[in-house]
Amino acid sequence: SLIYSTNLLFCLSLQLLVNCSDLLRFITYLNSTRTNCRNRPIDLVFIIDSSRSVRPAEFEKAKEFLVDMVDSLAIGSDATRVGLVNYASTVQIEFLLNTYSDKSHVKQALARVEPLASGTMTGMAIKTAMDKAFTIEAGARAGSASIAKVAIIVTDGRPQDKVEEVSASARAAGIEIYAVGVDRADVASLRLMASQPYDDHVFYVETYGVIEKLTSKFRETLCEEMRSEITEDACMCEAQIVFQKKVQSTIQDMFWGLKATETRCLEKMCLSCSDTPDT
């Protein structure tokens, strides 16, 4: 009957609303998980090449890239901490992990960094970062296994010192190394410095003018790295199973409800046909 069909559609609508509500709650849960992934604290040290081969305008582009990276992270004493090692033939620590505790001050400090000129002592810079920037005194949270230590090296040349051994020592100390090469950078040297797999840790761009395109790539890469450290959430698995069962149940109920409505409509039509007098 029409009343039955209306009631059926009303009930199905209510079921859809309930399941839509479940879906929205589930999506909210997933989004919160993704947000936690992006905002999970790390100890991040930039190691930036400012040798003579990096022109002033190019150095500014490199700094813009670092600012974009900082903008994509949650910065704070209880969130991600950022330090900067500047190098050429000498190495200079511009600021440590515990120097600034908010994003605006980190960005202001990046804007003030000046190139050092001449030489490319990348190995010395990595050793300085390991010995002086990733220490508890410098603000590294060495006591927490859940907080990753990450170094991002940006260089446009071939190292003038040995990088293989010192990079291996840094990696053995738990520092995840990403190597970004620009223009004349030696890709083989980048691979000697970087952690593995190389596809996730070695990047190359033709010029400093396009280095900013790596920002989103780094955001994704760091997020995936953090996800891999998080054990599977039992609550999330349970939520997925419950949600899937609800969807299956609702679809089945809708199918059989509509099937019953179709049958009743056909029966009503047949009765109407049989009640029609012959002409």
Domains of the chain from N-terminus onward: 41-229 (3.40.50.410)
- Convert the pLDDT of each residue in 110-154 to its tens digit: 999 999 988 999 999 999 999 999 999 999 997 667 899 999 999
Q: Where are the beta strands (DSSP E) in the chain?
A: 42-49, 81-87, 91-95, 148-155, 175-182, 202-205
Q: What's CA 204's distance to the chain center, in Å?
A: 19
Cα(279)–Cα(277) distance, integer angstroms: 6
Can you name the residues that pair with 95 across neighbouring β-strands? 84
Judging by DSSP bridges, how do beta strands 42-49 and 148-155 pair with one another? parallel
Instruction: Give the model's pLDDT for residue 51.
Output: 94
Q: What are the CA-CA distances from residue 260 to residues 2, 18, 34, 180 (Å)?
A: 13, 22, 43, 64
Which DSSP letter does residue 175 get?
E
Query: How far is it, in rounded angstroms, from Cα 214 to Cα 68?
Result: 10
CA distance 153 to 85: 9
Q: What is the distance of C-alpha 101 from the center of its chain?
A: 21
Sheet of 42-49: strand order equals 91-95, 81-87, 42-49, 148-155, 175-182, 202-205
From first to last of its 279 residues, the chain has per-residue pLDDT tens of 545 455 555 555 545 444 555 555 544 444 444 444 455 799 999 999 999 999 999 999 999 999 999 998 999 999 999 999 999 999 999 999 999 999 999 999 999 999 998 899 999 999 999 999 999 999 999 766 789 999 999 999 999 999 999 999 999 999 999 999 999 999 999 999 999 999 999 999 999 999 988 998 888 777 655 555 544 444 555 555 555 566 566 666 666 666 666 666 666 665 665 555 555
**Is residue 261 a contact partner of residue 4, using CB atoms and an 8 Å limit?**
yes
Q: What is the pLDDT at residue 277? A: 58
Confidence (pTM):
0.69
As a whole number of angstroms, the distance between CA 266 and CA 269 comes to 5
Q: What is the DSSP letter of 232?
A: P
197 upstream amide cis, omega within 30 of 0: yes
Q: Quick: pLDDT tens for 214-245.
A: 998 888 777 655 555 544 444 555 555 555 56
Rounded-to-integer distance, Cα 269 and Cα 263, Å: 10
- Rounded CA-CA distance 210/90 in Å is 27
